[in-house]
Structure 1
């Protein structure tokens, strides 16, 4: 699911951007979530991972440019789109590798064009999760994940190169992976359909011969999801 942040201290401008995003996705039938922030401080305090940031440049205390610099520390590949009433900041926007620069008042056709380009770029990128342990943060590319396992208050990410364990809810990961060929086959397991070799009434067998439980209540829907995945992949 696409997650978008709007950081704008003017309520009217912020709601205007939100409405344009809603109209765009309404026409394109994609799943998305939008979160609003009235300052750079509020945005940077948020622990959610966003795909696209719309940042007003001129804000009190911390500017959009300085906010973007902090974002880049954690999210190197996030798409940042600046919105401002002045052209003077265009070179500053380049310094933080902004995707685009929109001048107020916003032309909705231009806005849609830029948002569409941003989404197309995202679809080409290697998507990843950030797994934060007490000591480190790990980038885990979705293409390397075999399955995810709930272990009390922790999640174990089983990858092609090892296991990463950290505090997180598997239900939150299920939402994040909703459109990325993952399926929650059991209350404790989410599998990457890319690595599924076969399944029966009890287990899903992965291509590395590992087995994970499948719930009898999930069996029919899992079968449909796996067949749909195979069809889309050209099998």
Structure 2
């Protein structure tokens, strides 16, 4: 596992580097950890784009950790992001970066272990593939890249980060194969990946690609509750 710690405080950087080493030793996991002093250094580094997890300090001189996370996500970074901060004030700002966790400074060993549990869960989920058939060809599609699925006419279409794929499976069979969270059947003809929701509207989900996906009218309250519960569980370390 490749971990990058970006923090303008040398002591805070070293603490997380030491925690990575301890965690790797206790869990028989090889973790290569490196420190960077600011967001500019992080964004210029090719190594950071290939990291499995980024620990980003929110409060840094120049660009903040959240600014850096947004830029990296915009460039396609799909690894885990853990923010470190002295305040809960900016928790909501990280929603659109798909943060795996927030760590309050000074970071304790138990809280670091919880963050790593969530990171490893995310990496395992994002290694999953969905087996589908498209134009009589068998394909394995990365679950992490599926933004939403729709039925249009007589076609089932997977909208992914790499383009659209028409498959032969029904929406119900795909729903079963995906196994629930973070996927949500929000309408008769749609399944969304909640990690790709930009904003929840009164009667729809606004996806990060700009598409508005409708909610079933008689299930709106339930769907809104399910989405908000997922967001809060994700931010508080209770994701299942």
TM-score normalised by structure 2 residue count = 0.51
Structure 1 pair 111/19, CA: closer, same or farther in 2 (3 Å)?
Answer: same
Taking the aligned partners of 1:79 and 1:19, their CA distance within structure 2 comes to: 19
Give 2:123's aligned residue: 122
SS for the counterpart of 1:101 is strand
Larger CA Rg, structure 1 vs 2 = 1
Question: Deviations for 1:84-132, whole angstroms, at most 9, x for unmatched residues?
Answer: 001110010112221111111112111111112211220232389xxxx
Q: Sort the Cα spacing of 1:29 and 1:97 in 2 relative to 1 into closer, same or farther, 3 A.
A: same
Give the equivalent residue in structure 2 for 1:108.
Answer: 109
Give unpaired runs (5+ residues) of structure 1.
Answer: 129-139, 142-235
* 1:76 CA drift (Å): 4.1
Number of matched pairs: 129
Structure 2 partner of 1:39:
38
SS of alignment partner, residue 53 of structure 1: strand
Query: Taking structure 1 as reference, are residues 45 and 76 closer, same or farther at Cα in structure 2, changes over 3 Å only?
Result: closer
Gaps of 5+ in 2: 130-140, 143-240
Verify: 1:86 aligned to 2:87, yes or no.
yes
1:7-48 Cα deviation digits (max 9, x unpaired): 000000110111111111110111221121000000110012
8 Å contact from structure 2 (residues 19, 109) kept in 1: yes
SS at match of 2:15: helix
What is the alpha-carbon distance in structure 2 between the residues aligned to residue 9 and residue 37 of structure 1?
8
Cα shift readout 1:45-78 (whole Å, capped 9, x = no counterpart): 0012111000000001111110001110223422
Contact 1:7 1:37 in 2 (8 A): yes
Residue pair 2:58, 2:65 contacting (<8 A) in 1 also: yes
Q: Secondary structure at the match of 1:80?
A: strand
Structure 1 counterpart SS, 2:46: coil
Kindly indicate whether residue 16 of structure 2 is the aligned counterpart of residue 13 of structure 1. Answer: no
Distance 1:52 1:74 in 2: 15
Counterparts of 1:75 and 1:32 in 2: how far apart (Å)? 22
Distance 1:75 1:57 in 2: 20
Tell me the alpha carbon deviations over residues 126-147 of structure 1, each in whole angstroms, 9 at most, x when there is no partner.
389xxxxxxxxxxx97xxxxxx
8 Å contact kept, 2:2–2:53: yes
* Match runs of 1:71-82 below 5 Å: 71-82=72-83
SS in 2 for 1:12: helix
Residues 127 and 14 of structure 1: is their aligned pair in 2 closer, same or farther, counting only changes over 3 Å?
farther
**91 and 60 in structure 1: CA distance in 2 versus 1, 3 angstrom threshold:** same
Query: Following superposition of structure 1 onto structure 2, how do residues 154-173 of structure 1 map, counting pairs within 5 Å?
Result: none
With the length of structure 1 as denominator, give the TM-score of the two structures.
Answer: 0.52
Q: Which structure 2 residues correspond to residues 1-235 of structure 1 after superposition, within 5 A?
A: 2-48=1-47, 49-126=50-127
Alignment partners' CA distance in 1, 2:88 and 2:41: 25
